[in-house]
Amino acid sequence: MADELEQTTVIDPGPDEVLGPGHNFDTVTQKISGVVYRPFSRTPIQMFVGFGIAFVFVNIFLGAVTWLFYRGVGIWGIVIPIAWGFAIVNFVWWIGIGHAGTLISAILLLLKQDWRTSINRFSEAMTLFAVACAAMFPILHLGRPWLFYWLLPYPNQMWLWPQPRSPLIWDVFAVSTYGTVSFIFWFTGLIPDFATMRDLRANTRVGKLYGMLAMGWRGSAKHWARYQKAYLLLAGLSTPLVVSVHSVVSFDFAVAILPGWHTTIFPPYFVAGAIYSGFAMVLTLAIPVRRWFHLEDLITTRHIECMAKVMLGTGLIVAYGYAMEAFIAWYSQNTYESYAFYNRIFPQAGTYWWTYWLLITCNIAIPQMLWSRRVRLHTWAVFLISLVVNVGMWLERFVIVVTSLTRDFVPSSWGMYYPTMWDWATFAGTLGVFLCLMFLFIRGIPAISIFEMREVVHEKEAVHAPAE
Amino acid sequence: MHPQNRDAGEIADLYGLLAEFDTAEGLLAAAERAREEGFRRMDAYTPMPIEGLAEAVALGKTTVEKLVFVAGLLGATGGFMLCWWMTVVAYPHNVAGRPLNSWPAYIPITFESMVLIACLTALIGMLMLNGMPQPYHPVFNVKEFERASIDRFFLCIEARDPRFDREATREFLEGLNPLEVMEVEK
């Protein structure tokens, strides 16, 4: 049946509709499950190429990490005073990317946004994999990563306990909770879809596998009632959680007294930046995937345009954050604070001033094109802008982490940071890990929530019914 | 279905009668009619949540939210007590003369523990209340039931309902305009 569907032309219903014409319960089911239940040979060639490239990077990652375990963090460019190099830049970048997934699935659910439905599953998976990539970095950065469990409070023969007054321990709790809750949210959403996958291939090996995951779900009205309540509670709990996680990440910086870090604007500015980069990543992934699998009638121009608008909005909040940093540098009349800002923006030999201007170009200047509706409706333009924002948000973390550390209070403790090949290999490697997991997810699990799409179909029918 | 099962009053092997509908509205109306008729032991099966259906098939209030609330309180208390115990009892550490019980610093961990325990309870509690994982259920014996997770809507009146009668209940269900009425073996 999936074959028949692919032969019919796929119609993108434009920026006003969340679902293409002619869909009923069966067609949305077949179409979404068809992405998974298609013969191996009928996987789009781009998936093979993409997975192949990503897999190369997975191996680069494994190589880089093996060398790191063998030699220690000295293979990276970190020095004193810049002890937080790429590892922390990448950690903040990845965890920020995850935030859009939770925002889409939780906050947009509570706000009853109709454009949430076909992108939530996908973004939740993105969150999960981004958090996995993020969580690796602080552990790799530990120096003795095999002792990471010392971060957790557990009874031990040394009678030592973590310090809960430190933002770094808050981070342990925030990130591990975030990872767990993201998984719970994702899995809860999947249970009814696993049941659908089971029933589409009853009594086959793959059907049994999905059957185990569905745990006997049979769509009972009583079960749905509890399910919906649980799902709503998860959304309600995830909403403050997503705000708390990046706030806690920002405390890692803001609680320190370093000029350029010690700023009260950090929590809201970090959260907005996280959502900004997360939406950019969702767009970066969703635009090619909807094209490869001909999903333009499920992920429509409306979804793309709405995400582009959120990106523009959060981008402006981030711009406000930059402006406040500049304002406080002047208004505080604090020598160190002003110097930290001066050091960021004015061209001087041997500083990172150019990264700041590249960041402003990527995060503030170029995304302003999204004010134009024509640009927002031009899918590939949005795709390119999303790539630019991804780069810009990475640069932002670089500017915050590295530039601030290079020049603190006393000139005798100034230094420069030069990333090594291993820094780049580890970063590029996690991109490979992330993309590999995304490709496997798309091929193995319904990437769009089937039962929620049925609800969209049902609502659409209800709207049209009286006119008939 | 074995012929001997059709004997009047012999319903030991029968789980219930299953009526299939092709619209959610048809099912909802049927479930409401069945309720008015006095049936209580019944359930509806749908490919997506339908508003008002759970009430129609006699589910009172859900208890998930109560469980989650209690779990959240326990999580928050546990998180706070953990921080307090670590810094005041187990490993007291004088930081610049500040009080050992520096509670504002415990708030992030308190909050995260609350969310963690509440969310775990939401999932596990929902599954437990739903009796899942459940490897076997009689409704799956009906071949047509495969479409309950795709595009069909089912109402099952169970044999344990005191008002259940194989013939009369079948007649009643057939009067509700279903596509088909099927017997569900145990």
Query: Tens digit of pLDDT for each residue in A22-50?
Result: 788 888 888 888 888 888 888 888 889 99
Nearest CA-CA distance, residue A147 and chain B, Å? 20
What are φ and ψ of residue B43, in 5° steps?
-150, 155
> What is the predicted pLDDT for the residue at A8?
53
* B8 touches A at CB < 8 Å: no
> What is the predicted pLDDT for the residue at B41?
86
The pair of structure tokens assigned to A294 is 């001909």
Output the CA–CA distances (angstroms, integers) from residue A404 to A31, A268, A319, in the order listed.
50, 19, 19
Q: What is the mean pLDDT of chain A?
A: 90
Question: What letter would DSSP give residue A146?
Answer: G
What percent of chain A has a predicted confidence (pLDDT) above 70? Answer: 97
Work out the angle at residue A135's Cα, subtended by the Cα atoms of residues A162 and A209, and round it to the nearest 5 degrees: 120
Sign (positive/negative) of CA torsion A242, A246, A252, A258? Answer: negative
Place of tokens 């739903």: B130
- Residue A32 and residue A23 in contact, taking contact as beta carbons nearer than 8 Å: no
Q: 3-class DSSP state for residue B170?
A: helix
Within 127-146 of B, beta carbons closer than 8 Å to A belong to: 127, 129-137, 139-140, 145-146
Domain boundaries, chain A: 2-462
- Residue B125 and residue B68 in contact, taking contact as beta carbons nearer than 8 Å: yes
Instruction: Give residue A369's pLDDT band: very low, low, confident or very high (50, 70, 90).
Output: very high
Condensed to tens digits (0 to 9), the pLDDT of residues A386-397 reads: 999 999 999 999
Class of residue B186 by CB neighbours under 10 A (exposed 0-12, middle 13-18, buried 19+): exposed
* A161 touches B at CB < 8 Å: yes
CA dihedral A133, A135, A137, A139 (to 10 degrees): -140
Within 128-157 of A, beta carbons closer than 8 Å to B belong to: 153
CB contact under 8 A, B46 and A218: no
The pair of structure tokens assigned to A91 is 């950690």
Query: Which secondary-structure segment (H or E) carries B157?
Result: strand B153-158
Q: Is the model's pLDDT at A102 over the cut of 90? A: no
Instruction: Give residue B11's pLDDT band: very low, low, confident or very high (50, 70, 90).
Output: low
- Quote ipTM for the complex: 0.90
The pair of structure tokens assigned to A347 is 């061209």
Q: Please count the residues of chain A.
A: 468
> What is the predicted pLDDT for the residue at B2?
45
CB contact under 8 A, B95 and A195: no
The region of weakest confidence among A237-251, A316-330, B32-46 is B32-46
Work out the angle at residue B37's Cα, subtended by the Cα atoms of residues B34 and B38, and round it to the nearest 5 degrees: 95
> What is the predicted pLDDT for the residue at B6?
46
Determine the Cα–Cα distance for residues A131 and A396; give it in Å rounded to an integer: 19
As a whole number, mean pLDDT of residues A58-75 equals 94
Condensed to tens digits (0 to 9), the pLDDT of residues B62-73 reads: 789 999 999 999
Best A30, A182, A223, A250 member to test B by mutation, with max B CBs in 10 Å, is A223
Question: What letter would DSSP give residue B17?
Answer: E
B14 beta partners: B185
Q: Is the model's pLDDT at A54 over the cut of 70? A: yes
- The tally of CA atoms less than 13 A away on the side-chain side of residue B107 is 6
Condensed to tens digits (0 to 9), the pLDDT of residues A404-451 reads: 999 888 888 888 999 999 999 999 999 999 999 999 999 999 999 999
Domain boundaries, chain B: 3-61+136-185, 64-129
Condensed to tens digits (0 to 9), the pLDDT of residues A153-211 reads: 999 898 889 999 999 999 999 999 999 999 999 999 999 999 999 999 888 899 999 99
Q: Is the model's pLDDT at B110 over the cut of 80? A: yes
- Among A119, A99, A93, smallest CA distance to A306 is for A119
Across the interface, of A161, A187, A452, the residue whose CB is closest to B91 is A161
Condensed to tens digits (0 to 9), the pLDDT of residues A332-367 reads: 999 999 998 998 999 887 789 999 999 999 999 999
Query: A259-267 — which CB contacts under 8 Å span 24+ positions?
Result: A259/A334, A259/A336, A259/A337, A259/A339, A259/A340, A259/A404, A259/A408, A259/A409, A260/A337, A260/A340, A260/A341, A260/A344, A260/A400, A260/A403, A260/A404, A261/A400, A261/A404, A263/A325, A263/A328, A265/A321, A265/A324, A265/A325, A265/A328
**CA–centroid distance for A467 within its chain:** 42
Please give the class, per CATH, of domain A2-462: mainly alpha
Instruction: Give residue B185's pLDDT band: very low, low, confident or very high (50, 70, 90).
Output: confident
Helices assigned H by DSSP within A22-116: 25-36, 45-71, 86-102, 108-110
> What is the predicted pLDDT for the residue at B1?
42
As a whole number, mean pLDDT of residues B1-20 equals 65
> What is the predicted pLDDT for the residue at A464?
61
Within 49-78 of B, beta carbons closer than 8 Å to A belong to: 49-50, 53-54, 56-57, 59, 62, 64-65, 68, 72
What percent of chain B has a predicted confidence (pLDDT) above 90? Answer: 40
> What is the predicted pLDDT for the residue at B38?
83
Question: What does A247-305 look like in DSSP terms, one character per residue?
Answer: HHHHHHHHTS--TTT--TTHHHHHHHHHHHHHHHHHHHHHHHHHHHTT-TTTS-HHHHH
**CA–centroid distance for A155 within its chain:** 34
As a whole number, mean pLDDT of residues A90-100 equals 92
Condensed to tens digits (0 to 9), the pLDDT of residues A425-438 reads: 999 999 999 999 99
